[in-house]
Every structure is written in C-alpha cells, then in structure tokens.
C-alpha cells in the first residue's frame, strides 16, 4: 500500500475510535440532565441503532420508553443535528400548544418534508400565512349552513352508496374491507365539502354521477392516496434527507410521488378554473349566489392564485380523507371484541329512533338532533380514539431555548413532539385501567358525554391550531356507526389485532376484512 494512503487510513481509524469513545454529549447539545428513561444515545449516530431495531414497532417502543420515564418525557437524537424530545405530559402539551405557542411552529424541517405535496396549505404553513387561512376557514367551519351541508351529504352517501353496498355484501356472504369502504366514504364527503365535487369513490360500478368524468375523478383519488403515503414515508428514512437524493435522481418512490402530485395538480386546477369561471359569470353575480364549499369561499375571500387555492384544497382533503376512516376502523375492531358495548350502542340507537318516531319523516340515516342524543355512541367513538388516535403523533420546532413545565430543557432548533398514541396508554394520565376500552369513562352519572382537557386527550390537537373539522368528523363517524350497527352484525374475518400501519394517520395494515349479516331481531 502506498505510504500516504496508509496514513489516511490510520487517521480515519483514529478519528472513528475517538468518536466512539467520546460521549454523545460532545456531538449533541444535550439537555442537562437528560430526562430519566431516555434511551442511550451513541456518538454521531445517536439513537439510530434503536430506531432500526424497532422500526416495525415504533409506536409500541416509544410507548414503553415513555411509560418508564418518571416525567413522561424522553430525549432522542439521530444523525447530524436532529435531536429533540417526545412527551406525554399534559402540562408540557399545554405549554407547547397554548401558553408558549409562538415558540413552537411546525418549522422548516417538517414543512420541507410535506412541501411538494401540501405546498403552503394550512397544515404546512406557519406565521401570517397560517393565520390568514385559519381565520378564513374558522369562519366557514362555524356556519350553521356548513353543518346542514355536511349532514345532508353524509345522509346521501349512506343511503345511496354505503348501505346498498353493505346489503349486497351481506346477501352474498362476501368479505369486504371495511377500512377501504370508510376511506372511500370520507374522500367523497370531504371533496364535496372542500369543492362541491363528487369523486364517487364509493359508487357502485356503473354509477357515474360525474357525467363520464368518473374515471378521472377516481384517478385523482388514487393519486391522492399515493401522494399522501409517499410523503408520509419521508419521515421514516433512517438517514434523514435521503429522500432528497432520490428526488434529485427522480428514482423509486420519489418518482412515483412526482407523478401522483402531477395528477392531483391537474385535477385540482381544472376544478379551480371552472369554479372561478362559474363564480364570475354574470348570472351568478346577479343572483348573489353563494356556494357552500370552502374553495368558493377562498376564491371570493382573498389570494385567489391557482397555486395557493390548490394548496388549500389539498390540505383540506388530507384533513378529512383518512382521519375519520382511521378512527372508525379501530372503533369497529374494538367493538368486534366487545359485544357488551355494541349492545349498549344498539339500545341507544333504538331508543333515539323510538323518541323521534312520528316527529321526523322516516329515513335510514339520522338527523343532527338524533345524533346529538347518542351520548354512549359518542363516548365509545371517543374512547376508541383515545387508544387509537388517528393522528398518533405530532411534532413542532423549538425557536428559542426553553424549559418545559416538567423541568426538561429544550434547545433552539430541536423537535418537540407529543405522542397521542402513548398518552392514551399512560397510567399517569388515565389511571391503571388505561389499556382498557371503557366508554363509561367519558360519561357522567346521568349518562351525558363529558369532554376532557385536550391536553390529556389531544386526538384533535389543542390550542390555536386545534382541529377545525371536529364537529364535521363526529357527524360523519356517528352517522356511519349508527347506521351500520342498526342494520348489521359484523364479524372481523381475521384473528387478532390488525397490524398498525403508520402513514399520516394510523391505519390497519391489510385493511379490516369483515363479514356482515343483516340484523333482523333485536339482540
């Protein structure tokens, strides 16, 4: 070997040995003291070995670590400067999401991961850009007319599409993937609310309300699903930033992402242009016609560049697409293990039906007031989300050094995350029976639903960025659950708990295959 090459090799070996001997503190500006219970961080690579070891069970691994930590907070670090804390401590959540909100925006790392897909839409925006979208959207979400619009859409989708599909599956004895049907339902529903378009994803073959445009719309739905999954997968690269190299080379998943985004963009822009044209037509202006959907409100309300409107629409579809379906998938799985809870829900549905007999015209789905009376169902769905929150964790970026209420020091540039999945499993938060599915924990002695502090139950986030679609989500989830339980018994066609699949939301890997039987006699 040439002498200079030998010297280089020796120097590299010495550097590596020194690096391995030095404490991680030398490379990372650690909090001092590091929260008790944090996993051992190795020099240079941080917690990478543990991340790799537990990559198939990340949520469970983090839950075990957090449960063992006396404060419910742990420190984690990965390659380079990527370091931060994860917490399940409600006092810390209140600090992050409300009291010191200004110090914890989404930040550049998180927004860059989702930028190609979400652009500058509400989920991926901070500062003034976020504030403006929030103000506009809050106004829209608080109108009674939106609630009526949502209830009507949900009723139509249930009676015209969901129930007929389930009835034909029950009649033929076929197994159906309930998660897939719920995702189709949610996609149709949110597209109608976001831009008053019906992608007809749940429509039976042959039904094409889009006037020959149906295939295009379903292509949009498939592209949206792929773009979501691939963008979310960028979070999970063992080497952060690896996706950038793949994007540069336009290979593998990044290539597919580019193609999916282009399909989503084409479709969204077509809708935006046609809606603009419609809104500006003299006939519409003369009638003072008011569209109910979010897109129309944003077009008439401010920045109406196609680019920005596209970002807003994509963000809203993302918000409504997988969240309610994730919640209901886990709800129905939990229910399949608990016939006692199912029976109580059925009794409640029947007594609500009996009370409104004669008052409302007979229909298969439920009205807003009827849904409001279903306290036990509300509690059971909420309890399912406590154990399986559709958005299992959430992260923000620390702008300036800070100390959390539990004493944990966090540094400028760190990520600070909360883990809603782990929170539902903390005895310190929910008591020793935290792992049990017990809807009663949400009910008063008189059987009324009692809400919890969002800092203990952050399934819908909390503080100024709290979920805007919560009421809409409950309307949809309660309507579907009530109609399904009233009409069918459901048997999960696979043993054991479905494997958890982490995308933007917590999905069931391989779906939720079920067999249905029409309910004929009261149980």
Is residue 243 at the binding interface for ligand HEM, with CB under 6 A as the rule?
no
**Rounded to whole angstroms, how far apart are CA atoms 455 and 97?**
8
Give yes or no for residue 123 binding ligand HEM (CB under 6 A).
yes
Measured CA to CA, the distance from residue 402 to residue 100 in angstroms comes to: 10
Please calculate the CA angle 333-223-130 and round it to the nearest 5 degrees: 85
Question: Between residues 217 and 465, which has the closer beta carbon with respect to ligand HEM?
Answer: 465
Q: Which two tokens mark 288? A: 């003072």
Is 467 annotated as contributing to ligand binding? yes
**CA 368 to chain CA mean position, Å:** 24
- Position among 469, 478, 481, 516 found at the interface with ligand HEM (CB under 6 A): 469
Minimum CB distance to ligand HEM smaller for 31 or for 153: 153
- Kindly state the tokens that stand for 78: 């990965």
What is the Cα–Cα distance from 76 to 40, expressed in whole angstroms?
A: 9
Q: Which of 256/470 has CB closer to ligand HEM? A: 470
Continuous H helices in 234-338: 242-249, 252-280, 282-287, 294-301, 306-321, 323-336
Residue range at the interface with ligand HEM (CB under 6 A); choices 36-44, 342-350, 388-396, 401-409: 388-396
> Angle at Cα 347 formed by Cα 341 and Cα 348, nearest 5°?
90
Q: How far is the CB of 507 from ligand HEM (least distance, A)?
A: 13
Residue of the chain from 323, 419, 479, 489 that contacts ligand HEM (CB under 6 A): 323
Rounded to a whole number of angstroms, the minimum distance from the CB of residue 103 to ligand HEM is 16
The interface mask with ligand HEM, positions 130-169, x = CB under 6 A, is ----x--x--------------------------------
Cβ-count burial of 101 within 10 angstroms (0-12 exposed, 13-18 middle, 19+ buried)? middle
Sorted by sequence, the CB contacts under 8 Å of residue 230 that are 6+ apart come out as 253, 254, 256, 257, 260
Nearer to ligand HEM, 397 or 465 (CB): 465
The answer to whether 345 contacts ligand HEM (rule: CB under 6 A) is no
Residue 4 CB coordination number (10 Å): 8
Two structure tokens written together for 61: 């691994």
Q: Where are the beta strands (DSSP E) in 328-411?
A: 393-397, 402-403, 409-410
The smaller minimum CB distance to ligand HEM, of residues 62 and 472, is found at 472
Among 84, 199, 390, 454, binds ligand HEM (CB under 6 A): 390
Q: Which two tokens stand for residue 170?
A: 């029950």
For residues 34 and 478, which CB has a smaller minimum distance to ligand HEM in the complex? Answer: 478
Of 46, 119, 320, 424, the one binding ligand HEM by CB under 6 A: 320
| Closest approach of ligand HEM to the CB of residue 3, in Å | 57
Q: Token digits for 348?
A: 């409640």
User: Is residue 388 near ligand HEM by the rule CB under 6 A?
Assistant: no
Under the binding rule (CB under 6 A), the answer on residue 41 touching ligand HEM is no
Return the residues of window 394-453 that contact ligand HEM according to CB under 6 A: 394
The closest residue (CB) to ligand HEM is 469
Distance, in Å, from the CA atom of 280 to the CA atom of 286, rounded to the nearest integer, reads 10
Per CB under 6 A, does 391 bind ligand HEM?
yes
Binding positions for heme are: 467
Q: Which residues bind ligand HEM (CB under 6 A)?
A: 122-123, 134, 137, 190, 316, 319-320, 323-324, 327, 390-391, 394, 459-461, 465, 467-469, 472-473
């Amino acid at each position: 070997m040439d002498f200079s090459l030998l010297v280089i090799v020796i120097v590299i070996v010495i550097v590596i040995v020194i690096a391995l001997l030095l404490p991680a503190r030398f490379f990372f500006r650690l909090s001092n003291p590091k929260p008790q219970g944090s996993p051992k961080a190795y020099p240079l690579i941080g917690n990478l070995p543990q991340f790799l070891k537990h990559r198939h069970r990340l949520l469970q691994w983090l839950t075990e670590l957090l449960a063992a930590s006396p404060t419910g907070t742990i420190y984690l670090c990965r390659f380079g400067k990527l370091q931060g804390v994860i917490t399940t401590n409600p006092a810390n959540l209140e600090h992050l999401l409300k009291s010191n909100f200004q110090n914890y925006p989404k930040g550049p790392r998180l927004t860059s991961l989702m930028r190609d897909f979400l652009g500058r839409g509400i989920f991926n925006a901070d500062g003034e850009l976020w504030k403006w979208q929030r103000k506009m959207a809050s106004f829209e979400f608080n109108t009674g007319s939106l609630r009526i619009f949502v209830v009507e859409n949900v009723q139509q989708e249930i009676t015209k599409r969901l129930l007929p599909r389930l009835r034909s599956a029950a009649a033929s004895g076929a197994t159906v993937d309930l998660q897939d049907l719920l995702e189709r339902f949610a996609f149709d529903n949110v597209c109608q609310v976001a831009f008053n378009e019906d992608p007809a994803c749940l429509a039976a073959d042959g039904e094409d309300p889009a006037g020959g445009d149906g295939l295009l719309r379903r292509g949009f739905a498939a592209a949206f699903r792929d773009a979501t999954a691939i963008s979310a997968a960028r979070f999970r690269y063992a080497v952060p930033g690896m996706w950038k190299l793949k994007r540069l080379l336009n290979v593998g998943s990044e290539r597919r992402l580019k193609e999916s985004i282009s399909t989503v963009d084409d479709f969204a822009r077509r809708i935006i242009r046609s809606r603009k044209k419609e809104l500006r037509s003299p006939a519409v202006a003369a009638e003072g016609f008011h569209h109910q959907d979010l897109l129309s409100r944003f077009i008439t309300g401010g920045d109406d560049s196609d680019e920005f409107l596209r970002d807003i629409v994509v963000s809203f579809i993302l918000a409504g697409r997988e969240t309610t379906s994730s919640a209901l998938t886990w709800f129905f799985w939990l229910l399949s293990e608990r016939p006692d809870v199912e029976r109580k829900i059925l009794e409640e549905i029947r007594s609500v039906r009996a009370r409104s007999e004669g008052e409302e015209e007979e229909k298969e789905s439920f009205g807003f007031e009827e849904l409001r009376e279903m306290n036990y169902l509300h509690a059971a769905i909420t309890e399912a989300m406590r154990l399986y929150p559709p958005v299992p964790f959430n992260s923000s970026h620390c702008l300036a050094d800070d100390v959390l209420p539990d004493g944990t020091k966090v540094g400028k540039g760190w990520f600070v995350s909360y883990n809603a999945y782990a929170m539902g499993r903390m005895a310190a938060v929910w008591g020793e029976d935290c792992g049990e599915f017990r809807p009663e924990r949400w009910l008063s002695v008189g059987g009324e639903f009692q809400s919890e502090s969002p800092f203990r139950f952050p399934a819908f986030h909390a503080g100024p960025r709290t979920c805007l679609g919560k009421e809409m989500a409950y309307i949809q989830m309660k309507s579907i659950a009530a109609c399904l339980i009233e009409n069918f018994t459901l048997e999960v066609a696979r043993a054991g708990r479905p494997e958890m699949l982490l995308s933007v939301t917590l999905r069931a890997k391989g779906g939720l295959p079920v067999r249905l039987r029409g309910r004929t006699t009261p149980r």
